[in-house]
Structure 1
Amino acid sequence: MEFLGDCTYIHRAGKCNELADALPRTVCHDRANGVELRERMLCIAASELIGVLYRIVYLLLLEQCGRALLVKLWQHCTMRISAKDVDQSLLVNEIAAFLKKSGRISLPDWVDLVKTAPFKELAPTNPDWFYIRAAAIARHLYIRSPAGVGAFRKVFGGRQRNGSRPSHFVLASSGIIRKCLQALEEMKWIEKDPKNKGRVLTSTGRRDLDRLAAQVFKKNPSLIMKSCSNRR
């Protein structure tokens, strides 16, 4: 710290110990300027002290954990989880549980009677199958949209076994898919595409799916997709 006159000082790097000697010399000038300069010097000293503390903490972590673990910790703290980054089966179950818990979807009267497709022999045994089907539709629209009833009939279609005759691909039931789309549309998760046919995911639906994906990642951090780990 050097005095140049007119209450002007130069702060040298690594000379923090000279601040205490430089502060009393400010009283020889105007008191207002001296107080302002004293506050400025204290701010400089505090900022340098904080920087030194950050370096010490970083070196301690680097010595204890290693560089690779420290980089992974930084990526984990700054990484944004989306619906594409977690295990998709766990994500569908999480969305279905959220739909059931929220109570925003009303089940049809025929939910325990119908089959999901003509090639099925029996109705679904899972009592929450309607929520799972709606969750799968929402996840599909997150990844690929727009999509309508015809596209989802192909997605949920399957092989019909005809005994000794050859098997053939059969489309899924359209009524169930239409009811799921209408229920998601009432929740403001999806909307009709004004340009093309079908439905697209809204910003509200994308936000909620990302939040549910973050909850899945907190429960199972080791099951994150490779695309997310290579993104950083």
Structure 2
Amino acid sequence: MTTVYDVPPHDLIAATALELKAAGKVQPPVWAEFAKTGVNREMPPTNPDWWFVRSASILRRIYIDGPVGVSRLRTFYGGKKRKGVATGTFAKGSGSVVRESLQQLEKAGLVRKLKKGRQMTPEGQAFLDGIAHKVASQKEASIAPASEPAAESTA
């Protein structure tokens, strides 16, 4: 049985983003093309599918960290805020992006709300484990067995 822990995060998040987009479980809000992902950013993301990638990443984070709230996810997606000549400090990521994504994942039935944050549903866990299994099987298929070197003639 392949789980989320057995595959590289980047590959899992990319595959999950494609699956979320294809299934129509998550839709970017109208403001998403103009929104920054935090006060520490200067520009909005350049990837047109960034909403699906962030939603997939949030889903993976909830799977790994258990019940997790908006504040903790904001901290995870934060970064260094540059202040010119002054020393840079840490700034949290956008709460609106995290909150809206969590609400959409709740509607899709992948996440449920608790008193202390959000938790994976059994359907959400099966969804991510299924994608992890697909990613792992694709990795195994792409790794070709090493061919034996050709015998050199000693003429």
Where structure 1 has 5 or more consecutive residues not aligned to the other structure, the ranges are 1-79, 224-232
- Structure 1 position 199, deviation (Å): 0.3
C-alpha RMSD of matched pairs (Å): 1.3
Matched residue, 2:118:
199
Match of 2:44 among 119, 123, 145: 123
Greater RCO, CA 8 A, separation 6+:
2
Q: Is the helix fraction higher in 1 or 2?
A: 1
**Amino acid corresponding to residue 36 of structure 2 in structure 1:** K
**TM-score under structure 2 length normalisation:** 0.88
Where structure 2 has 5 or more consecutive residues not aligned to the other structure, the ranges are 143-155
CA distance, structure 2, for counterparts of residue 132 and residue 183 of structure 1:
14
**Structure 1 stretches of 4+ moved >3 Å:** none
Match of 2:110 among 181, 189, 207: 189
After TM superposition, the structure 1 = structure 2 runs for residues 143-222 of structure 1, keeping only pairs within 5 Å, are 143-193=64-114, 196-221=115-140
Instruction: Please say if residues 21 and 27 of structure 2, whose CA atoms lie closer than 8 Å, have aligned partners that are also in contact.
Output: no
- Structure 1 position 221, deviation (Å): 2.4
Matched, 1:94 2:18: no
Instruction: Please say if residues 34 and 44 of structure 2, whose CA atoms lie closer than 8 Å, have aligned partners that are also in contact.
Output: yes
Label 1:163 to 1:102 Cα distance change in 2 as closer, same or farther (>3 A): same
- Structure 1 position 107, deviation (Å): 1.7
CA distance, structure 1, for counterparts of residue 86 and residue 58 of structure 2:
32
1:161-218 Cα distance to aligned partner (Å, 9 max, x none): 112100100011100100000000011000012xx41000000000010000011011
CA distance, structure 2, for counterparts of residue 206 and residue 159 of structure 1:
32
Among all aligned residue pairs of Structure 1 and Structure 2, give the percentage whose two residues are the same amino acid: 35
- Structure 1 position 81, deviation (Å): 0.6
